[in-house]
Chain A
Amino acid sequence: MIEIKNLSKTFGTFEAVKDISFTASTGQIFGLLGPNGAGKSTTINCISGLVNATSGSVSINNFNIATQAVKAKQSLGIVPQELALYDDLSAHENLSFWGSAYGLSGKTLENRIQEVLLDVGLESRQKEPVKQFSGGMKRRLNFACAILHKPSALLLDEPTVGVDPQSREHLLQATIKLKEAGTAVIYTTHYMEEAERLCDQLLIMDKGQVIAAGTVEALRQQMGERDLITLKGRYQEGANMQLLEDIGAQVLELSHQEVRILIPEASKCLTQVLKSVAQIGKVHQVNIQQANLESLFIKLTGRALRDAA
């Protein structure tokens, strides 16, 4: 279990994380969602002890990371956003290195190396130097290094950034397997679909603050039974949107090139929507989708995740 209470981190005058509290329980994947610079990695660094928190506390299995660091770190695994591998050593040698960093040795270490290699699908490439690996394979090995010592708490900091679909699937499956084995996982990402698929609990962050928290279902309910319509085209910024609001739409975003609205049963009222939007510009493309976490992020911040990133 990972418990974070009133965590804040300030760099000079910049507040990277502002008073965050949450708990990632055993057998649960807790997602930290937000654009780049939202404070996710700083939170992860505070939890792993890489960065000392300005205030608040972090405990792993009831051991405080600041005052009982050795005990707390014994049951913690971390997959950093940036790879932490020796390029000139083989996959096996890298695993051997990281396993020994957590006190594994001899036959126990060797058995675990073979198990995790199997988990991430690299068993046939274990003798090859890492520099010959693709980006996705390196990510999988980076993941494997963190789970060698069977941690009961695992921090995954954007583990799927820039990986191929095959590697991503391997990583997601391995994470689910760990959750099923009872590991408390904190998973940071800015991919909404990953968060929706994996996470039991979610915390959406922006500018160091929590803007929404709860289960995926609870967060979806905040959006109501509504669809998200994205209309690409050319519009007058700051135009009066009263016509849209009159037909029950909630305008999330109006920019020079895009209008985003939330509306119940979009397919039924699409003609009305197009008529209303035609008053303020020219529509080139229409996209309708079920409201998701991204819609929620837009609703809460007025910005799309990718724009915020």
Chain B
Amino acid sequence: MINALTRTVLKGTLSKLLKEKWQLAMWLVIPMMMAALFSLMSGSDGNAKPSGILLITDNDDSFLSQMFVRTFSQGPLDDMFTLKKVKKDEGQTIMSAGDASVWLTIEKGFTQNFVDNKPTTLRLVKNPSQNILPKIAETMVTALADSGHYIQLLFSKELKQFDNLITGKDISDTQMAVMSVQIKHTVDLLEKQLFPPQIQAKKKVKTDESKKTESKHSFMYMMFPGILFMSLLFSAQGMAQDFWKDKSQGILSRLLSSPTGLKHYFTGKLLSAIIIFTLIAVLLSFLGVWMFNINNQKLLIIIPWVVLSGIAIWSFLLFFTLKLPTKKSANLVTEGMVFPLMMLGGSFFPFDSMPKAMVAIGEKLPNGYLLQSFNSWFIKEQALWVLLTPALMALGFILVFFFVNQKTTQQFARNK
């Protein structure tokens, strides 16, 4: 049976919170927004992939020039560059507007000069406002030019005979066979220099099964528990501040003069925190189901775990809130605590992408410890019992802080 005051405090706190819809929304939206931004910044697999437009003006329009251009649409470069063929004037306009990363111009006679072992020009115009993509394009063009130079050195004779092929004319089967044999002879001659005996190194990689499973999840999935905990930290800090609001309105000191008012007030606040954390857990879990197709049965673990963690975090932050001498200092300090707790506790970045020293600290923080334990089950897919010890630890933590904070509230109410 819940005491009448506890019930009133519970009702009052929830009703006040529902009136402050923006605050509630922020507790949910900010973590999701931050996760989405991190995800966008890092790419879905956690690695950054810049992309841009590569303008091509191919004045030669030959087999070799086309082959050269196709290099930029192969492999990883394909993700980075969107190729766009342009005339000189159009290219000039686009580059002047800064709408492309690089502009490559292949001069007329490029192939013929290459075959004739004559100098040829590739003109690369880089967008000065960009850094990464123009450098990648420049490196690529330089590498291709070097390769072309070595081909000219080694196969100049054969290239002469390729002339027809390169310039788009038909060549006979006999010509093709002769060229092939000549190239083979040259390669055979250079084989010892080109392909020295290799030392065959056997590389045995010890695979960690738990890490293997991580890779199958998307970055957002791995961030999901962090988002939940980020939301818990924001809401716990906000709810702890409620004590100061009530104190400044004279509620707590007046409750102190009632028979058992402060005790029931504290219980009411605890119950409202449990309800708010449940609400957050349910809303975000269903978002998880929708986004990551999380198994419904997992919700039976996720929701209680989030609530348990929320209460532990609330108790922790409340302790500091009650100990600080003014409303302003309590707000500043606890707000200042929330961001390092998020950062070190794995809410901004998954623990696996954090430096070891940071992980060592983060794991010792209440939110970090509980998040790391949760990840063992949720991401690394370890057996459910891995949560048993952390759950008992969290319960113990909550119990200790319940008595400490209840007692501290008395002193807090007394202080002017």
* A interface residue numbers (CB < 8 A to B): 48-51, 69-71, 73-74, 76, 78, 80, 82-89, 93, 96-105, 109, 145
- Given A89-B12, A97-B12, A100-B5, does the pair A50, B257 have CB atoms closer than 8 Å? yes
Binds A, one of B137-145, B165-173, B246-254: B246-254
CB distance from B241 to the nearest CB of A (A): 15
Q: Complex Cα distance A83/B250, Å? A: 6
Q: Complex Cα distance A78/B9, Å? A: 20
B7 contacts partner chain A, Cβ-Cβ < 8 Å: yes
The residue that A80 contacts in the complex, of B5, B250, B260, B261, with Cβ under 8 A, is B250
Name the residue in B5, B253, B258, B264 with the highest tally of chain A Cβ atoms < 10 Å from its Cβ. B258
The residue that A101 contacts in the complex, of B15, B16, B261, with Cβ under 8 A, is B261
B128 contacts partner chain A, Cβ-Cβ < 8 Å: no
Q: In the assembled complex, which residues on chain B have CB atoms less than 8 Å from the CB atom of A101?
A: 5, 255, 258, 261, 264-265
> Nearest chain-B residue to A44 (Cβ)?
B257
Q: In the assembled complex, which residues on chain A have CB atoms less than 8 Å from the CB atom of B251?
A: 84-86
Q: Across the interface, do B258 and A88 meet the contact criterion of CB distance under 8 Å?
A: no
Q: Complex Cα distance A98/B258, Å? A: 9
Q: Across the interface, do B8 and A49 meet the contact criterion of CB distance under 8 Å?
A: no
CB distance from B286 to the nearest CB of A (A): 30
CB distance from A269 to the nearest CB of B (A): 51
Q: Complex Cα distance A51/B260, Å? A: 16
Q: In the assembled complex, which residues on chain B have CB atoms less than 8 Å from the CB atom of A82?
A: 250
B26-47 interface (Cβ within 8 A of A): none
Q: Across the interface, do B258 and A102 meet the contact criterion of CB distance under 8 Å?
A: yes
Q: Across the interface, do B8 and A73 meet the contact criterion of CB distance under 8 Å?
A: no
CB distance from A92 to the nearest CB of B (A): 12
* B interface residue numbers (CB < 8 A to A): 3-5, 7-9, 12, 15-16, 19, 249-251, 253-261, 264-265, 414
CB distance from A159 to the nearest CB of B (A): 14
Q: Across the interface, do B4 and A80 meet the contact criterion of CB distance under 8 Å?
A: no
CB distance from B4 to the nearest CB of A (A): 4
Q: In the assembled complex, which residues on chain B have CB atoms less than 8 Å from the CB atom of A104?
A: 4
- Given A50-B414, A86-B12, A96-B8, does the pair A73, B259 have CB atoms closer than 8 Å? yes
Q: Across the interface, do A88 and B414 meet the contact criterion of CB distance under 8 Å?
A: no
Q: A80-B250, A100-B3 are in contact. List 20 more A-B contacts (CB 8 A).
A: A48-B257, A50-B256, A50-B257, A71-B259, A74-B259, A78-B257, A80-B253, A83-B250, A84-B249, A84-B250, A85-B250, A88-B19, A89-B16, A100-B5, A101-B5, A101-B261, A102-B258, A102-B259, A104-B4, A145-B254
Q: Complex Cα distance A82/B414, Å? A: 14
> Nearest chain-A residue to B253 (Cβ)?
A50
CB distance from B247 to the nearest CB of A (A): 10
> Nearest chain-A residue to B9 (Cβ)?
A97
CB distance from B193 to the nearest CB of A (A): 85
Q: Across the interface, do B257 and A100 meet the contact criterion of CB distance under 8 Å?
A: no
The residue that A100 contacts in the complex, of B8, B15, B249, B254, with Cβ under 8 A, is B8
15 of the cross-chain contacts (CB-CB < 8 Å) are: A51-B414, A76-B257, A78-B254, A82-B250, A84-B251, A86-B12, A89-B16, A97-B9, A100-B4, A100-B8, A101-B255, A102-B258, A102-B261, A104-B4, A145-B254
Q: Complex Cα distance A103/B4, Å? A: 7
Name the residue in B5, B251, B257, B259 with the highest tally of chain A Cβ atoms < 10 Å from its Cβ. B257
Q: Complex Cα distance A146/B123, Å? A: 88
Name the residue in A70, A73, A97, A99 with the highest tally of chain B Cβ atoms < 10 Å from its Cβ. A97
Q: In the assembled complex, which residues on chain A have CB atoms less than 8 Å from the CB atom of B414?
A: 50-51
Q: Complex Cα distance A50/B259, Å? A: 12
Q: In the assembled complex, which residues on chain A have CB atoms less than 8 Å from the CB atom of B254?
A: 78, 80, 84, 98, 145
CB distance from B14 to the nearest CB of A (A): 12
Q: Complex Cα distance A74/B259, Å? A: 6
Q: In the assembled complex, which residues on chain A have CB atoms less than 8 Å from the CB atom of B259?
A: 69-71, 73-74, 102-103
The 3 closest A-B pairs by CB, nearest first: A84-B250, A100-B4, A84-B254
CB distance from B304 to the nearest CB of A (A): 30
Q: In the assembled complex, which residues on chain B have CB atoms less than 8 Å from the CB atom of A86?
A: 12, 16, 249, 251
Q: In the assembled complex, which residues on chain B have CB atoms less than 8 Å from the CB atom of A103?
A: 4, 259
> Nearest chain-B residue to A47 (Cβ)?
B257
CB distance from A62 to the nearest CB of B (A): 16
Q: Complex Cα distance A73/B256, Å? A: 9
Q: In the assembled complex, which residues on chain A have CB atoms less than 8 Å from the CB atom of B19?
A: 88
Q: Across the interface, do B249 and A87 meet the contact criterion of CB distance under 8 Å?
A: yes
Q: Complex Cα distance A71/B259, Å? A: 7
Q: Complex Cα distance A50/B250, Å? A: 12
Name the residue in A76, A88, A89 with the highest tally of chain B Cβ atoms < 10 Å from its Cβ. A88
